[in-house]
Amino acid sequence: MPKHYLSAADLSRTEIEAILKRATQLKAHWHATRTTQPLLSGQTLALVFEKPSLRTRVAFEAGMNQLGGHASYLSANDIDMGGRESVPDVARNLSRWVQAIAARVFAHGTIEQLARHAAVPVINALSDREHPCQALADMLTIAERREQIAGTRLAFIGDGNNVCHSLMLVCALLACHMTVACPPDHQPHPDIVAHACSLAERHAASITVTSIPQEAVEGADAVYTDVWASMGQEHEAARRRVVFQPYQVNPALLSLAQPDALVMHCLPAHRGEEITADCLEGPQSVVFDQAENRLHVQKALILTLLDR
């Protein structure tokens, strides 16, 4: 059975730490030499994307190139999964041609179905439930700025969405203390909260959900936000701008965190909505480090799943 990465909780703490260590090594090699490594020579990664992407697509394509392999991009127009061809048939066909599949889908059930029928590793490159590759990149970014990840106090402000879900699970596994502040009707899924709290109990971590952003940010080592309306929710954007306005990351809110607190955002950002431009572009911001680190953690993840 191939090993998949559909949820941030699919890897153990030991596995995550090993991936972060290898990502650090891969990043150092790339910055020092700008040369490819033949670690995945002759290997192909299929990128099955129902949704458009900048960071996810380019990071996977560049990453495979840097490891000596190849990425084949397949958009919704190329495949029409569930329409022209069933998800199980797509999985079985791709398994005959490629060594791994990274899928960016609307419904989490689609990627679960791909994994059930694929004979190669399947990576969740984003679904409506989780964004686990982003969470790995976020942890690498924190590790680069702090002596250790364990004990980090992370505040997530805004929508309890897929990014929030994966962060909760990874923070629980890596002994962080995460507080999520969301409007009452936009809090993370109760099942994810319960799972994260269960993991937290075993790893000396803590997961807290509140509706008060100031409570979450008080004393935080990192303040994280994301767009208020995710892809596919554009029709709700106007309503959400009103509901989420008290959850904007701005200088007043950030002043409650540690003086050197990291400002984090998975991008794309809407300046003046979920975060002000001065916070996003300020000296505490690490948002473009997060974006770069998608490249390196995804390389390390692929190598791990392929036992390379």
Is 31 a residue of the active site?
A: no
**Catalytic pick from 128, 138, 159, 226?**
226
φ and ψ at 239, to 5 degrees? -65, -40
Is 55 a residue of the active site?
A: no
Is 131 a residue of the active site?
A: yes
**Catalytic pick from 4, 57, 104, 129?**
104
Is 240 a residue of the active site?
A: no
**Catalytic pick from 4, 55, 129, 131?**
131
**Catalytic pick from 4, 57, 177, 294?**
294
Is 289 a residue of the active site?
A: no
CA distance 85 to 73: 17
**Catalytic pick from 266, 279, 284, 296?**
266
Q: How far apart, in Å, are the Cα atoms of 224 and each of 32, 47, 142, 175?
A: 30, 28, 11, 17
Is 294 a residue of the active site?
A: yes
**Catalytic pick from 99, 113, 134, 298?**
134
**Which residues are known to be catalytic?**
104, 131, 134, 226, 266, 294
